Amino acid sequence: MRQFRLAAKRFSNLLSRDHSSVYIRHVIADEETRQAVQALIKTTYDAMSTPGSGVADLFGAADIAIAGSGQGELWIGPEEVVAAATVVSSWGLRWIAEKTTIWRRGDVAWAQILGSVHVVRDDVDEVVPYWTTAVFGLEGERWRWLYWGGSEPQESAKV
């Protein structure tokens, strides 16, 4: 039990540190990749914020998968993913990417997108923190979404 408490304390100390300088040191995507992926993220968040925007082209990769922030929000393949994204974009939520860190290895890039979603529903108007873990694949000269992992960070983690 004592070992568990010590490990938990070390982990808690690690989480409480300011990691901003670590992110800057470990951004390994070249500038061209960073700009292209950042543009894709902006286009995607704009489309997800606009009912009727048509998200099929954004999420059309054959091997795309999404894990949303809610239980059961798991979709695999373009047919399921586009259908889910079309429904979510129809809600008129405002998706905001506040800080994005991008890495790249070969034809794969991944990003940590820290942001929020502005939700107005049932007389409730709130800004919900929302973090996306994204994986992109390079097809020819074009970056495509391969994975979207969404989470709504909690003030106090349960795990």
Per-residue pLDDT of the chain (159 residues; tens, 9 = 90+): 555 455 455 545 545 555 555 444 455 899 999 999 999 999 999 999 999 998 999 999 999 999 999 999 999 999 999 999 999 999 999 999 999 999 999 999 999 999 999 998 888 899 999 999 999 999 999 999 999 999 999 888 888
What ranges do the domains of the chain cover? 29-151
Q: How far apart are CA 66 and CA 122, in angstroms?
A: 26
Residue 102: closest CA among 41, 8, 27, 24: 27
- SS3 state at 146: strand
Report pLDDT for 9. Answer: 54
Report pLDDT for 159. Answer: 84
Report pLDDT for 5. Answer: 54
Residue 40: closest CA among 156, 139, 151, 159: 139
Task: Enter the CATH code of domain 29-151.
Answer: 3.10.450.50
Report pLDDT for 155. Answer: 86
* 31-48 helix and 77-90 helix, angle to the nearest 10 degrees: 60
Q: Contact 133/112 with Cβ under 8 angstroms?
A: yes
Report pLDDT for 54. Answer: 85
DSSP 111: E
Report pLDDT for 121. Answer: 84
27-34 long-range Cβ contacts below 8 angstroms, 24+ apart: 27/101, 27/102, 27/103, 28/103, 28/104, 28/105, 29/102, 29/103, 29/104, 29/109, 30/104, 33/102, 33/104, 33/109, 33/143, 34/102
Buried b (16+ CB within 10 A) or exposed e, 87-100: ebbeeebebebeeb
Element at 135 (helix H, strand E): strand 124-139
DSSP 69: S
